[in-house]
Copies of this chain bind each other. A is one copy, B any other.
């Protein structure tokens, strides 16, 4: 097992690591729309929050030697299922032709009042 950290994604705010790599699979922790420098973006639009959370996720995947095409399965938590269509749009722009397995899970709320959080499993080359 290898613990992963990159300054290109926001640092963990609790007792967890950004990601763990094991036997060729990368387990990425839930990523909120926090900027890599720790700035919060609580008032940002849903689309902007989705982009910020995806930025963190993809920065972690890249730090392990991967690309967006390395994603195997993505779990998306949204505060309100009404955000489903807009998330799908932002997500398609970020991933391009690659379509990993996915589930979008509506939740009543998220930490700090954010609207979206994203976790993933990915191929790991490290």
Check B23–A81 contact: CB distance below 8 A: no
- Within 8 Å by CB of A16, from B12, B19, B20, B102, lies B102
Q: Give the number of residues in A that approach B within 8 Å (Cβ atoms).
A: 46
Provide the main secondary structure of the chain A interface. Answer: strand
Residues of B within 8 A of A24 (CB): 23
- Within 8 Å by CB of A101, from B20, B103, B108, B123, lies B20
- Within 8 Å by CB of A108, from B23, B25, B106, B123, lies B106
User: Which residues of A line the B interface, CB within 8 A?
Assistant: 1, 3, 12, 14-20, 22-25, 27-30, 72-75, 77, 81, 84, 88, 91-92, 95, 99-111, 117, 119, 121, 123
